[in-house]
Amino acid sequence: MLRENFGRTHNISYKGKIDLVTDTDLYSEEVIVNFLNREFPGFGMLAEERNETKPGSLFRWILDPLDGTTNYAHGYPFFSVSLALEQEKTVVWGAVYDPVLDEMFTSELGRGASLNGYPVKVSLTDTLIRGLLCTGFPYDVHESTDNNLDHFENFVKVAQGIRRDGSAALDLCYVATGRLDGFWENKLKPWDIAAGSLMVSEAGGKVTGFDGQAFDINRGEVLASNLRIHDEMVKVLLLDR
């Protein structure tokens, strides 16, 4: 459905100054939520465009029906669907699907990560100056001073290159597959990072907060890398603290 409607005119509304939602976001979420509720009636659900259901359930789905909405609305072909499953507040399974390239990234706790059924691993890049990184900026970048621009300036001086693609879920999967060596971003939501973060860790990478401490999908910030350049990235992120 996302692929068929890509490039067409959409009904767009705004949740914030530059935080938009399309009719396709809402329809995608409706289709997926209805399916999951039918097949797994006892599971909770945290989805981007609706209120959480069955809080406190043993199992909880975490869904972003269209990660990269701004890209999608502008006809920029980089967006995804992200779905993760929590068991007792631990993410145990995740999938991120890219409809444009027909790429399905999947991971399961303790059983590795794969792309279209083939196992994947993080890159072997061992120094930050040889690293290709990726990031994003929060929706309140126009108003808040905590807008990631300071970190971007610091990284651009010490890394080989930086990209800004607009789908955190796919960015994390690209770290898992070795297409990127590292990713950082703040002010994210659980549905942006739950599935992708498991991909990275199951592919042999490392996922933490900016300070290198334990990762929490509810904290809002994520630093993911191929493990080899992780400490260097932490040092850069702590420069202005």
Between residues 15 and 63, the one the model is more confident about: 63
Mean pLDDT of 122-138: 96
Write down how long the chain is: 241
Q: What local confidence, expressed as pLDDT, does residue 5 receive?
A: 87
Question: In the chain, what percentage of residues exceed pLDDT 70?
Answer: 94
CB 132 within 8 A of CB 123: no
Q: What local confidence, expressed as pLDDT, does residue 37 receive?
A: 96
Domain ranges in the chain are 2-119, 128-237
β-bridge pairing 161-163 and 132-135: parallel
CB 165 within 8 A of CB 78: yes
Q: What local confidence, expressed as pLDDT, does residue 130 receive?
A: 98
Between residues 167 and 17, the one the model is more confident about: 167
Q: Which helix (H) or strand (E) holds 232?
A: helix 230-237
Whether 18 has a pLDDT exceeding 50, the answer reads no
Domains 2-119 and 128-237 share a fold: no
Q: Which residue has the tokens 């001073």?
A: 145
pLDDT, tens digit, 9 for 90 and up, residues 45-58: 999 888 899 998 99
Mean pLDDT of 81-97: 97
For the whole model, what pTM was predicted?
0.93
Mean pLDDT of 135-159: 89
Between residues 229 and 48, the one the model is more confident about: 229
Domain 128-237: give its CATH code: 3.40.190.80
Domain 2-119: give its CATH code: 3.30.540.10
Which residues are within 8 A (CB) of 209 and not within 5 positions of it... i.e. 6 or more apart?
Answer: 215, 216, 219, 221, 222, 223
